[in-house]
Amino acid sequence: MAENIFVGLLPKSKRGMVDWKAMNKAAGEELAGYGLDISPAEMVRNLRSIDVRKLNIIRAMHKGAKLIILDEPTTALTNRERDELFAFIRKLKEGGIAFIFISHYLGEVKELSDEITVLRDGCMYPVENPKEVTEEYLSRLVAGEKVQLTQRQNKTDFEDENKLFECRHLTAKGLDDVSVDIYRGEILGIIGFPGSGAREMCRTLFGANKLSKGEILYLGKKLSIKSPKEAIRNGLAYVSYDRQREGLIPQFTVNYNIGMSVLHSKLKKPFGFINMKKEREISDHYKDVLNLKCNGIDDPISSLSGGNQQKVVVGRALAAEPKLLVLDEPTIGIDIKSREEIIATIDKMTQSGVSVLYLTNDYEELLRVADRLIFFKDSKIVAQMDNKDLDVVRVTEIRDHAKGEI
């Protein structure tokens, strides 16, 4: 922890070496001053998520910051941890530190902020009476228009004959003997903190993480999935949580980014040639389906907004015509209108029999679209239930109980 606080400002001894004793002593005093009873020699990887957030703020304070920008700081925190973070921020605010709080959780924005400003298309829209404003009003202001929230008609038919995929005793990096059935046309919601097995489940199904034990069956037939290429061939598609690193090639066009998933199938011609006419037809189709805002499919990906870039990633997954679509935070960091357009498209897909795994930390969103929920902890599924008579409070209670927070 001491090294994180002093990074770039390491104290030196007379010989020009790092003065570890002085650094640890000063760091310990600084941590204690902010209410953290943790050894300055503790490794950051061993900290709770909330303590990592606090450490980031303390590091900024150590360097003399008077204005601290918090970008989605509550992601992956329990309710208790979130309240603890807010109390920490309020205490610092009383001491004269100013904060810019960036979040798509509108309820949290209302709870913590003294003033609220919405940024849309490069313009600022200050909000009058921020303590009295409604979340519905903020949603309209963010989108620039009234947005109809998608509310899925939950599927209730979970008979054996409707099983599409069966996962049996899956063991891999971050997974330990996980079994679950996925039904035709179902949206199965996945809940779990980082490292719980939730994301690892998604990546293992797609072949991004190597499966060391267990089997995946499609309509009772065992599948061999050792790579993403084999996953696509077997009817699985994946939308990564990190579109910049794993979802897009920013130097290429919309057309190429959408067509990548079908280069070796629909677009393949004899002697290794690509059917470029077909590629453009597919890209134009999903541009229309997802209401993609761009001048045309020859636009570079880098010229698109975050929401439209995410639509391209989703469009590429849909172009492969998957039987199972694995979505890992598909709407994170995008505008409300794009979010609802993506959700509506996914909901429509399930009506034709496509099944979906849906991982997100936005439980309000998840409860609007999921038919069933599974909860992960310590690389295992610890709870399964139908999405019936549930709300965000109840879901977070179940999640936090699994983590041992309540």
Structure tokens that stand for 290 in this block: 């997802």
Integer angstrom CA distances of residue 106 from 59, 131, 192, 287: 27, 12, 22, 29
363-377 pLDDT per residue, tens:
999 999 999 999 999
> What confidence score (pLDDT) does residue 289 get?
93
> What confidence score (pLDDT) does residue 17 get?
92
Average pLDDT score over the chain:
91
Least confident of 271-280, 316-325, 326-335: 326-335
- Greatest mean pLDDT among 46-50, 66-70, 303-307, 328-332: 66-70
> What confidence score (pLDDT) does residue 4 get?
94
DSSP state of 72: S
Question: CB of 355 within 8 A of CB of 185?
Answer: yes
> What confidence score (pLDDT) does residue 403 get?
65
Q: Give the C-alpha separation, 58 to 45, whole Å.
A: 17
Amino acid at position 334, single letter: I
pTM: 0.78
198-252 pLDDT per residue, tens:
999 999 999 999 999 999 999 999 999 999 999 999 999 999 988 888 989 988 9
**Model confidence at 406, in pLDDT bands (50, 70, 90)?**
very low
115-138 pLDDT per residue, tens:
999 988 788 999 998 888 988 888
Element (H, E) at 344: helix 336-350
**Model confidence at 80, in pLDDT bands (50, 70, 90)?**
confident
pLDDT of 404 > 70? The answer is no
Q: What percent of the chain has pLDDT over 70?
A: 99
Provide mean pLDDT across the span 44-50: 89
Element (H, E) at 279: helix 276-289
Say which residue, 346 or 404, is predicted with more confidence: 346
Residue 374: helix, strand or coil by DSSP? strand
Which residue in this structure is represented by tokens 């489940």? 201
pLDDT of 333 > 80? The answer is no
Nearest to 304 by CA among 325, 289, 287: 287
Q: Is 105 exposed, middle or buried (0-12, 13-18, 19+ CB in 10 A)?
A: middle
Q: Give the C-alpha separation, 76 to 193, whole Å.
A: 6
pLDDT of 172 > 60? The answer is yes
- Residues 6 or more apart whose CB falls under 8 angstroms from that of 112 comprise 86, 89, 90, 101
281-315 pLDDT per residue, tens:
999 999 999 999 999 999 999 999 888 999 999 99
Question: CB of 323 within 8 A of CB of 235?
Answer: yes
Q: Give the C-alpha separation, 229 to 227, whole Å.
A: 5
Q: What percent of the chain has pLDDT over 90?
A: 68
Domains of the chain with CATH codes: 1-102 (3.40.50.300), 160-402 (3.40.50.300)
138-154 pLDDT per residue, tens:
888 888 888 888 889 88
Q: Give the C-alpha separation, 101 to 204, whole Å.
A: 34
Provide mean pLDDT across the span 82-104: 93
Q: Are strands 187-191 and 355-359 parallel, antiparallel or unpaired?
A: parallel
36 HSE (CA, 13 A, CB side): 26
Provide mean pLDDT across the span 394-399: 91
**Model confidence at 276, in pLDDT bands (50, 70, 90)?**
very high
